[in-house]
Amino acid sequence: MDRNTIVGLVLIGLVLTAFALFNQPSEEEMKKAQEKAKQEQLKADKKKEEEKKKKADAKKEVASDTIEMAVNWTPKLDENNEFVKDSAGFYPYVDSLGKDSLVAATSSMIPDSLREVKKAVEGDVITLSTDKLIVDFNTKGGQIEQVKLKEFESFDDYVKDDGKLESLVLFKKGDASQGLTFPMGERNVNTSKEIFTVKDQSENRIVFELKKGEKGSIEYVYQLKDGLYDLDFDINIKGLGGQVTPKNVIYNWEVAYRRTERLMSEQRRVSTVCYNYEEEGFSYLSEMSSDSEDAEDDVEWVCYKQSYFSSFLRPDKPFAKSGSKFKVKTYEEGDDRDTTHLKKYTSELNLNLKNVDNANVSMNWFFGPNDYKVLTSYDEDYDQVLNYGWGIFRWINIYAVQPLFNLLGSTGMAIGLAIFLLTLVIKGLLMPIQWKMYTSSAKMRILKPEIEEITAKYPNKDDAMKKQMETMALYRESGASPLAGCVPMLIQMPILLAVFRFFPATFDLRQKSFLWAEDLSSYDSIATLPWDIPIYGDHISLFTLLMAVTTLIYTHINSSNMSAQSQPGMPNMKIIMYFFPIMMIFFFNNYSSGLSYYYFISTLMSITIMLLIKRFFVDEDKIKAKMAERKAAASNGGSKKGGKSKFQERLQKMQEAQREQMKNKKK
């Protein structure tokens, strides 16, 4: 450190010392500061005393205000229906003007009359019923709290086999919520949390009313119907003009369905929110994960669908696109509802109101089975929610499989027998196609040695064109074609895939037993495993095993005309074909036993038909002789006309062009 640096540091130190001494407060200034701090502390202590006195006065006035509060105030409750308490120990109430007020510092100071207010907020339950439905209404929200279906029961009740029919609970208290939401003044009104009065009630009809403001009111009118799964629902809004904007009135509908079938994972797999747009038609949210969507068009109806039951809400006038949205939420592992509920469905629906002075919205609720006959009876395209597949697969199911199955079922025969006869009819109709496939297979089997000779004759890749030309010439001369067996397969594949969708979605299979299967809509089990095998499950399905075994036999019969793997790097088709039946054991083990039973019978019939065709309808020796005659005729004709088809000529030109390219490369 040099001398100049030292001198600079000393000067800076002297300046800072002088500045500190110059700005040091005098003794008088220090006394004033101490006095000011003392006054501020006194003010703080005084404010704390006033707050304590205010709390004490609030406690004293609770008793005198109780009656008025019980009539005009509403206690704030949390999602568990318990009193909300703030950090200071006060209980907030909402008065008749919508303002928050604080009462009683401890729960012990809440008098019985206020506890009666809480009881009133929970609402009273009123039950109406028809020969189809039992519906519980709650004065809290004037909403539908629970729905039971009289004619059906859950799988757990079904397997009791006690001779009693326990009505199936579609949803119960705490699972559903419906109500209007809209801004009104400085508050956001949610009618599902407010208490309605019963204005009128009869055997199948009930009217709820909620007073709003000085002259306003909201009415909910429910009308049940005997012999039907639906009820009419009217909303009447009066006297809210100038206080509420019509376009902001939204109807909220939430439901969390409970498990009703044997296997919750399968029931969840097809559960989602469906809706029908006025112009764009049917649409739905994802069935596999949580999903949401804002409406892209005016909405004709909304459906909360599960495997075999659904709830529809349909307005006379479509819900407006603006402000309408849909959401489905899956429950995460560890969630309280993960083991009891399927999914949570939510809709926000714009009622498309023009005024709130004297408005009426007419809607219709449907709570019932996903039965094709029932859904189509409403003529509202409700049957779109049935997962019968898309395009040609759905057409086959609706216009062919479904009518035939209904016809067989209408005779009163057992569903298992109806499936057997349905399979027999379908296989009978497809028999000409199978005959064509077998004939083509026989021709290919006869040509197999000659094709292998051609393959051995041209082992190099450079001779691929020659090998192809000779192979095609052999096919042409013998009248065989490798594609002849593919076309019939393509014809029957849509039917096989359509049936794959049909049986799991068919309500008629639900809780129908057959042989060892308790319920054809779910898996059959002949043994329960002590542990759960990933993908496979914790049980053994006999119908699935039988289906896999017959498929394996059918595969073995069909693979006789297939050559072994001839080129390195190419998959061995025989191994793949044998691997597929084994995979079916895992894939179908949790599926509908009715579907496995159908495929078992179908494959068994295919084997039988193939053996019958081979034994009585197709003589391979005659086919071989006929092919030899055709080859001879083609050879004779070839000596006169050159024996080359246009396709062969094109192949020859391509071969010559390839040779020229090879020569040019060598040069």
Band (pLDDT 50/70/90 cuts) for residue 611 is: confident
The pLDDT confidence band at residue 436, using thresholds 50, 70 and 90, is confident
Q: Judge whether 379 lies within some domain.
A: yes
Residue 391 makes CB contacts below 8 A (sequence gap 6+) with none
**Cβ-Cβ contacts under 8 Å for 315 (sequence gap 6 or more):** 300, 301, 349, 351, 361, 362, 363, 364
Look at residue 581 and tell me if it is in a domain.
no
Please check whether residue 184 is in contact with residue 246, taking contact to mean a CB–CB distance below 8 angstroms: no
pLDDT at 557 over 70: yes
Most confident range, picked from 35-44, 343-352, 493-502, 642-651: 343-352
Ranges 84-93, 164-173, 226-235, 596-605: which has the least confidence = 84-93
> Given this model, what pLDDT does residue 385 score?
94
Question: Do residues 287 and 311 share a domain?
Answer: yes
Which SS3 state, helix, strand or coil, does residue 82 take?
coil
Which of 322, 356, 386 marks a domain boundary? 386
The answer on 452 and 508 residing in a single domain is yes
Q: Count how many residues are written for the chain.
A: 667
Average pLDDT over residues 396-406: 91
Give the whole-number percent of the chain exceeding pLDDT 90. Answer: 42
pLDDT in tens, 301-359: 999 999 999 999 999 999 999 999 999 999 988 888 998 999 999 999 999 999 999 99
Ranking 235-239, 398-402, 487-491 by mean pLDDT, the lowest is 487-491
Of the two residues 310 and 587, the one the predictor is more confident about is 310
Read off the pLDDT of each residue in 633-658 and give the average, rounded to a whole number.
55
Distance CA(385)–CA(374), nearest Å, equals: 12
3-state SS, 621-649, equals HHHHHHHHHHHHHHHHHHHHHCCCCHHHH
Q: Are residues 152 and 222 in the same domain?
A: yes
Q: How confident is the model at residue 3 (pLDDT cuts 50, 70, 90)?
A: low
- Residue 641 pLDDT class (50, 70, 90 cuts): very low
Instruction: Give a yes or no: residue 173 inside a domain.
Output: yes
Q: Which of 19-23, 135-139, 467-471 has the lowest mean pLDDT?
A: 19-23
Kindly state whether residues 117 and 177 are assigned to the same domain: no
Q: Is the pLDDT of residue 648 over 90?
A: no
| Domain end point (choices 98, 122, 146) | 122
What three-state secondary structure class fits 234? strand
- On whether both 136 and 259 belong to a single domain, the answer is yes
Whether residue 309 is found in the same domain as residue 444: no
Under the banding of pLDDT at 50, 70 and 90, the label for residue 495 is confident
The pLDDT value recorded for residue 389 is 86
- What token pair was written down for 334? 């560890």
Q: At what angle do helices 486-505 and 415-457 cross, to 10 degrees?
A: 150
**CA distance linking residue 319 with residue 298, whole number of Å:** 6
Largest pairwise CA distance in the chain = 136
DSSP structure class, residue 511: T
pLDDT computed for residue 98 by the predictor: 46
Q: Which has the minimum average pLDDT: 97-106, 137-146, 377-386?
A: 97-106
Q: Are residues 255 and 266 in the same domain?
A: yes
What contacts 576, CB < 8 A, 6 or more positions away?
A: none
* Encoded tokens for 262: 């044997």
Work out the pLDDT band at 105, boundaries 50, 70, 90.
very low
Tokens found for residue 89: 């120990």
SS3 call for 383 = helix
CB 404 within 8 A of CB 422: yes
Determine how many CB atoms are found less than 10 A away from the CB of residue 21.
8
pLDDT at residue number 90: 60
Mean pLDDT (the chain) is 79
In a domain, 151, yes or no: yes
Spatial separation of the C-alpha atoms in residues 447 and 427, rounded to whole Å: 29
Q: Which residues contact 625 (CB under 8 A, 6 or more apart)?
A: none
For residue 405, the model assigns a pLDDT of: 92
- 440 and 485 Cβ atoms separated by less than 8 Å: yes
Q: Evaluate if residue 542 carries a pLDDT over 90.
A: yes
Q: Taking residues 259-279, what's their average pLDDT?
A: 92
State mean pLDDT over 117-144.
85
- Domain end point (choices 122, 150, 173): 122
Tell me what the mean pLDDT of segment 527-548 comes to: 88
The C-alpha atoms of residue 662 and residue 636 are separated, in whole angstroms, by 34
Confidence of residue 563 (pLDDT cuts 50, 70, 90): very low
Instruction: Assess if residue 37 is contained within a domain.
Output: no
Query: In this structure, is residue 31 part of a structural domain?
Result: no
| pLDDT number for residue 153 | 93
Domain that holds residue 308: 123-386
Is residue 658 in some structural domain? no
Residue 256 pLDDT > 90, yes or no?
A: yes
In angstroms, the CA 29 to CA 355 distance is: 70
Please tell me whether residues 104 and 150 are part of one structural domain. no
110 and 128 in a single domain? The answer is no
pLDDT tens column, 285-298: 999 899 999 999 99
Q: How confident is the model at residue 122 (pLDDT cuts 50, 70, 90)?
A: confident
On the question of pLDDT at 391 being above 90, the answer is no
Phi and psi torsions of 208, nearest 5°: -105, 145
Say which CATH number the domain at 200 has: 2.70.98.90
* Residues 375, 497 within the same domain: no
Task: Give whichever of 108-112, 135-139, 433-437 has the largest mean pLDDT.
Answer: 135-139
Give 300-365 as a 3 state SS string: EEEEEECCCEEEEEEECCCEEEEEEEEEEEECCCCCCCCCCEEEEEEEEEECCCCCCCEEEEEEEE
pLDDT of residue 639 exceeding 50, the answer is no
Give the model's confidence band at 254: pLDDT under 50 very low, under 70 low, under 90 confident, else very high.
Answer: very high
> Does 323 share its domain with 209?
yes
> Are both 225 and 360 inside the same structural domain?
yes
Question: Structurally, how many domains does the chain consist of?
Answer: 3
Structural domain includes residue 5: no
Structural element, H or E, at residue 577: helix 573-588
Residue 387 phi, psi dihedral angles, 5° rounding: -85, 75
pLDDT given at position 154: 93
Q: Is the pLDDT of residue 555 over 50?
A: yes
- The secondary structure of residue 316, as a DSSP letter, is S
SS3 state of residue 79:
coil
Range among 196-210, 566-580, 636-650 rated most confident: 196-210
Yes or no: say if 359 and 182 are a contact pair by the CB < 8 Å rule. no
Distance in angstroms (rounded) separating the CA atoms of residues 147 and 144: 8
